[in-house]
Structure 1
Amino acid sequence: MISPALAPIPTPPAAAGLPQHTPLAVQTRDGVVESVHYGSAIATAADGRTLLAAGEPLAAFYPRSALKPLQAVAMVRAGLDLPDELLALAAASHSGAAPHRDGARRILDLHGLAPGDLENSTDLPYGAREREDWLGSGGQATQLAQNCSGKHAAMAATCVINGWPVRGYLDPGHPLQQLVAQTVAELTGEEPERTSTDGCGTPLFALTLRGMARAFGKLAAASGTGAEAAVAGAMRRHPEMVAGEDRDVTALMRLAPGLLAKDGFEGVQLVGLPDGRAVAVKISDGGDRARMPVTVRLLAALDVDTSPLARIAALPVLGGGRPVGLLQATDFLAAAHSPNDSDAL
């Protein structure tokens, strides 16, 4: 058996095959550019038309945890019925605070399940403060503390409701995952280019920013008693369960009521507006800090009042404890597609 250290290194894609991202955010320090974040972004209309685009928004990418609201829609369609705060947790990448861990346990208890029925990976709480408190109290990496535990508890519960096997609920051939795949394809209007596995073990689909934006627009505009409206309403009413305190996604939904927001690892951000418009952002280097400034710039371009979002629209760069620069979005829309040619995307 070859030692992992001696195993062949996969050949990286040729430059010609890389997505054609564009500079979306820049960090300056005393007037000098220190870092540049490339990526792609898109804004879509309620009917799915492209309104604004930058970079290569039709390049396939993995939405990561931004898929959770779509997965939650599939589960509600399959009979999952939870109080709002627990349904929001089912669509969450939570920080691992006590309400998050207790909420995941409540979902399990309501359906006769136990933490041992979860099939997600183990981890420490995601939030910095929550992780520090957890470790200070002697906590270790567990499945309940892992930031996807709400979704996994809901997946196991959905299996119980439908009489499906709980064991193996992450298998792509399992009835639950088949339903999720159908729902994702319906909401995005796309068939995944390929399927992989997310960090928590869930099947993961390669889609486009346009498809994901269309899906979030549908969820954000949904009304009535359908699954889309239930998930969107729960997330809006309980943004602290979708992420947590000191998290920018929670702040965005609190500062701009009506917006539906979800982030994903590797620099992904989705936002749906009540009128069905939506924006989607992918930061190419996977960095987390550029997501929100770029998202706010897109929202401003859609004539959304972003004045309440000033503190997450640009991030101060400190030197010796005082501001000496700024991380902010570039003027990436200046060279973006105009409304006249956007329909070609």
Structure 2
Amino acid sequence: MSSAVELAQVWRGEVLESVHHGHAVICDSSGGIVEAWGDPDLVMLPRSSCKMIQALPLVESGAGLTDSQLALACASHSGASLHTGMAGAWLEEIGLGEPDLRCGSHMPKDEEAHHRLIRAGAEPCQLHNNCSGKHVGFLMLNQRLKGDADYVEPDHPVQLAVRAAFEEVTGAESPGYGIDGCSAPNFATTLAGLGRAMAFFANAHRASGARAGAAARLVAAMARHPVLVAGEGRACTDLMRAMEGRVAIKTGAEAVYVAILPEAGLGVALKVMDGATRAAECAIAAILIRLGVLSAEHPAVEKYWNAPLVNCRGRRAAWIRPGTGLA
């Protein structure tokens, strides 16, 4: 087993203040490893980075879906009115309501939506949950599978379909699962397995069959609607816009990141071991720059790669930059 490598560093003046270690892998169309940092065999939970895999059974079911709905199904959205309005309308379209969701609620990341709730003295509902789009998709699939209301249970037909798809595209039986923040099971795989799955998505537009067709639709929807996948000011949205639809990327909790590169036919997966999102964002930007699909000169990149950390007076007091493993 290879040890974790430096994926990001924080410098304050001339002093190295923090180091974030982790693992990363790039896989090609054959599922083989093109390049790796650290341990490709690390067993890990993809968290929300695998939402496009979780959406595969829904798309394969033949359900009529717009590109916007596909993007929202893959989203860890900010809970802006754009997101909650679309999730609510989708629920209404399938004859269900907010109480049918099983994701729970939390305050939205979107500042305007957050402040609106506070001013109104209101509590967030489940539509504000960053996973609400995924859960509406689960409900839609559940209608087709005729399962019971508790669609997040690991032995429910919806989650059994998700697990089967997950194991096929990662290329291995999952060794287990954890319960995600939204209550759905999150199946474990190796980092290489997650990279292999992203490479499958990257090459789906060249392949035939229902699963490849579903994967290609999901990738295209994410790339066309980056604001639905995350939200204004978020790394997924900023960097996908900077790459002008050429690449789809997705974050996951505890510093997981994936990238799907259809032109190159490559899949990327990384995990920062201390769970620091700032490090995962820096590392994915560095890998995308390394692969030639993201310009280091793009204004959006400055927030994540060699990014300034600003103090309470607005002064640039520190910087986060790629670690020695990626430099």
1:282 equivalent among 250, 271, 276: 271
Gaps (5+ residues) in structure 2?
none
Which residue pairs with 2:204 in the alignment? 222
Q: Which amino acid aligns with 2:301?
A: A
Deviations 1:244-302 (A, max 9, x none): 11101011111002101110000010001013212111111111111121112222333
Q: Which amino acid aligns with 1:293?
A: C
Structure 1 segment 44-59 matched on structure 2, within 5 A: 44-59=27-42
SS at structure 2 position matched to 1:108: helix
SS at structure 2 position matched to 1:130: helix
Relative distance call for 1:128 and 1:221 in structure 2 (3 A) is farther
Q: CA deviation at 1:222?
A: 2.1
Check the 8 A contact 1:26/1:329 in 2, yes or no: yes
1:134 equivalent among 109, 112, 117: 117
Across the aligned residues of Structure 1 and Structure 2, the Cα RMSD in angstroms comes to: 1.9
Q: Which amino acid aligns with 1:313?
A: W
SS at structure 2 position matched to 1:165: coil
1:187 equivalent among 169, 176, 186: 169
TM-score by length of 1: 0.86
- Structure 2 distance, partners of 1:57, 1:134, is 43
Which residue pairs with 2:254 in the alignment? 266
Which residue pairs with 2:315 in the alignment? 322
Q: Which amino acid aligns with 2:272?
A: I
Which residue pairs with 1:174 in the alignment? 156
Relative distance call for 1:105 and 1:19 in structure 2 (3 A) is farther
Which residue pairs with 2:80 in the alignment? 97
Q: CA deviation at 1:305?
A: 4.3
- Structure 1 distance, partners of 2:289, 2:2, is 25
Which residue pairs with 2:178 in the alignment? 196
- Structure 1 distance, partners of 2:292, 2:124, is 44
TM-score by length of 2: 0.91
Q: CA deviation at 1:333?
A: 4.2
* Structure showing greater Rg: 1
Q: Is residue 79 from structure 1 mapped to residue 62 from structure 2 by the alignment?
A: yes
Which residue pairs with 1:31 in the alignment? 14
More moved, 207-216 vs 144-153: 207-216
Q: Which amino acid aligns with 1:144?
A: L
Gaps (5+ residues) in structure 1?
1-17, 335-345
Q: CA deviation at 1:306?
A: 2.6
Identity of aligned residues (%): 36
SS at structure 2 position matched to 1:105: helix
Q: Is residue 143 from structure 1 mapped to residue 126 from structure 2 by the alignment?
A: yes
Which residue pairs with 1:331 in the alignment? 324
Q: Which amino acid aligns with 1:231?
A: L
Q: Which amino acid aligns with 1:167?
A: A
Relative distance call for 1:90 and 1:305 in structure 2 (3 A) is closer
Q: Which amino acid aligns with 2:242?
A: L
- Structure 1 distance, partners of 2:309, 2:85, is 36
Q: CA deviation at 1:127?
A: 3.3
Q: Which amino acid aligns with 2:251?
A: D
Aligned length: 316
